């Protein structure tokens, strides 16, 4: 796998009908600072720029009838041609509700590579022939529908950027996050020690690091079992396999 370097930083190329949506939130906070510092690059490509007619038409009615419009294969493919030529080695991603759910493990894979080329659909989506020809990795953020792929692209890129070296202040902050060990994250507390009659668990005030670690693991396991039985089943199966 090609790795990003300081000379060739991690790069996100987003193909969209609304390039003005970028960088958006990606220009703020830690992702924004890293973008300004050159730790990563962002290029928003306007798909309309590859339309062939004077009206810059990018969609048409679906064959077979039905509501909505479909993004034209010739226009989308021309945009992909240009993006893939410039981003050789980066995986092509199409954000769609029918894709495989995005996981933290897959985010780590993306972050470890040179970047990603992200195609954002609109309307009823992209003509299927483009998907068949280009074979992008189809990814979904969950079982819900957005107005377009742009918010999902922002979420995907943000998840990757924060894993790049030096973006988050402490590597330890990444080690105990939700999903890192297949568990949801444990609860957090800070000052004041008592708030509205609610107090911080005594173990967190004990100064006993091993007891704190054990409490946090137990809380992460409890929350995962209660809220995400799918993750809990996978976690317990992996733990049994590791102990076998």
**Domain map (residue ranges) of the chain:** 10-161, 176-243
Average pLDDT of the residues in 66-89: 94
Tens of pLDDT, residue by residue over 30-41, are 999 999 999 999
pLDDT-derived band at 8, boundaries 50, 70, 90: confident
Does the pLDDT value for residue 243 go beyond 80?
A: no
pLDDT at 208: 97
pLDDT at 244: 40
pLDDT at 44: 98
Q: What is the mean pLDDT of the chain?
A: 93
- CATH placement of domain 176-243: 1.10.1270.20
Does the pLDDT value for residue 127 go beyond 90?
A: yes
pLDDT at 7: 75
The Cα 87–Cα 115 span in angstroms is 8
CA atoms within 13 A on the CB side of 79: 31
Does the pLDDT value for residue 173 go beyond 80?
A: no
Measured from the Cβ of residue 177, the count of other Cβ atoms closer than 10 Å reads: 14
pLDDT at 227: 97
Tens of pLDDT, residue by residue over 194-238, are 999 999 999 999 999 999 999 999 999 999 999 999 999 999 999
Does the pLDDT value for residue 138 go beyond 70?
A: yes
Average pLDDT of the residues in 55-78: 96
Q: Percent of the chain beyond pLDDT 90?
A: 85
Nearby residues of 83 by Cβ (< 8 Å), 6 or more positions away: 13, 15, 45, 117
Right CATH for 10-161 from 1.10.1050.10, 1.10.287.130, 3.40.1280.10, 3.50.50.60: 3.40.1280.10
66-71-77-83 Cα dihedral, nearest 10 degrees: -150
């Amino acid at each position: 796998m090609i790795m990003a370097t300081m000379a060739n930083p991690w790069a996100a190329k987003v193909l969209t009908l609304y390039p003005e949506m970028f960088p958006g939130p990606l220009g703020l906070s830690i992702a924004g600072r890293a973008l300004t510092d050159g730790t990563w690059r962002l290029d928003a490509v306007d798909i309309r720029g590859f339309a062939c007619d004077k009206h810059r038409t990018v969609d048409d009615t679906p064959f077979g009838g039905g509501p909505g419009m479909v993004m034209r294969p010739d226009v989308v493919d021309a945009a992909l041609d240009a993006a893939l030529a410039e981003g050789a080695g980066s995986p092509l991603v199409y954000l769609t509700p029918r894709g495989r759910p995005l996981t933290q493990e897959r985010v780590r894979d993306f972050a470890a590579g040179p970047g990603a080329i992200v195609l954002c659909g609109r309307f009823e989506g992209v003509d299927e022939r483009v998907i068949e020809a280009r074979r992008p990795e189809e990814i979904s953020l969950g079982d819900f529908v957005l107005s377009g792929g742009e918010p999902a692209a922002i979420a995907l890129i943000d998840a990757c950027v924060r894993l790049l070296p030096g973006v988050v202040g402490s590597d330890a902050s990444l080690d105990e996050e939700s999903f890192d060990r297949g568990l949801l994250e444990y609860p957090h507390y800070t000052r004041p020690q008592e708030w509205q009659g609610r107090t911080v668990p005594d173990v967190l005030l004990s100064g006993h690091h091993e007891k704190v670690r054990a409490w946090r693991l137990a809380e992460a396991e409890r929350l995962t079992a209660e809220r995400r039985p799918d993750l809990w089943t996978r976690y317990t199966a992996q733990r049994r396999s590791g102990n076998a």
